[in-house]
Amino acid sequence: IHRMPNLLAEVIESNQRKVEVFSQEGDVVEDVPVKRSMDSKGFVNIMYGCDKFCTYCIVPYTRGRERSRRMEDILREVEELKASGRKEVVLLGQNVNAYGKDLKMEDGFTQLLVAVAKTGIERISFYTSHPRDYSATTIDAMRDYPNIMPFLHLPVQSGSDEVLRRMARGYTVERYKQLYDDLKKKVPHIAFTTDLIVGFPNETDEEFEATLDLVRYCRFDMAYAFIYSPRAGTPAANMEDNIPLEVKKERLARLNELLTEIAEENSRHFLGETVSVLCIGTSKRNSAVYSGYSADNKLVNFTSEKDCVNQIVNVEITATHSYYLEGKVL
């Protein structure tokens, strides 16, 4: 699509049909116009594709291998977003921690994260991380730069080593716990979210219970939990699955009940506290109430006597819920 104007011009000029073939993975294309949907945040793709080939995932087959954008192009986009008044940049990729490997960079993502932090933009967050590539240097950067938000979405998928092996995730539960412990030690107030799959082919009761145990250990602030759904063309789609659907539904219900209980307990700690909130607009349910996100990505609905959209404001928390907070501007 990005080449369409040039190709049309060449066809008109030469009066001949043009055929252009691109690589299967797709090229990293710069300077394509981007429609920004938010005035407060800017979303910046730093890489495309994935090399992990988890047995249940179709992404490497549909989006190709990992391709990183050049750091200078990313930083230029961040500077443009900052100049336009955006308060936060969100760095995006299927596995951001693999950034720069194809460019032969050492600790590429940490290098990029630090460079973005040094631009002075007020908030930086990133999605999605993979436990297999998450490094100690990235943890240190999150500790050392206050504009890197104390929030991490780190998909674990299962609390069972055997299930992780069948998924080809490339790490153990112990490795995940080590990352969690290191992050909590160096960034004490970090919020942790994750992805979880229940009912992966032949998941036993014991393997599911191991997932519940991990949830109790990490006390996630939120998790996206799903029943496994086969994707045609992936290795897992060919695995024998002897788990009845009703069992999968019952496991998902138990998991969600535990996640909600923990999230509610985590939220209670905010009651009476003052949090920094980036206001993104008015609440979808009540236009008299503003809505935004705290530094640790907690949704906050709050009242204010003045317009505070696209501003970072201090909010006193007056009520807590499992997945959002309520308050008033100070």
- Ranges of each domain in the chain: 28-268, 274-329
In Å, how far are 61, 163, 198, 301, 326 from 232, measured between CA atoms?
11, 20, 18, 41, 43
Instruction: Evaluate if residue 88 carries a pLDDT over 60.
Output: yes
Q: What is the mean pLDDT of residues 261-290?
A: 94
The verdict on pTM exceeding 0.75 is yes
Instruction: Evaluate if residue 13 carries a pLDDT over 90.
Output: no
What is the number of residues in the chain? 330
Please state, for a pLDDT cut of 90, what percent of the chain lies above it: 83
Give CATH for domain 274-329: 2.40.50
Q: Both ends of the chain: CA-CA distance in Å?
A: 48
| 235-245: pLDDT as tens digits | 999 999 889 99
Reported as a pLDDT band with limits 50, 70 and 90, residue 287 is confident
Check residue 231 and give its pLDDT. 94
Q: What is the mean pLDDT of residues 160-182?
A: 98
Reported as a pLDDT band with limits 50, 70 and 90, residue 283 is confident
Reported as a pLDDT band with limits 50, 70 and 90, residue 30 is low
| Strands in the chain per DSSP E | 41-45, 47-48, 67-68, 88-92, 123-127, 151-153, 191-198, 222-227, 274-282, 290-294, 299-303, 312-320, 324-329
Q: What is the mean pLDDT of residues 71-92?
A: 97
Domain 28-268 has CATH 3.30.2130.30: no
28-268 and 274-329, same CATH topology: no
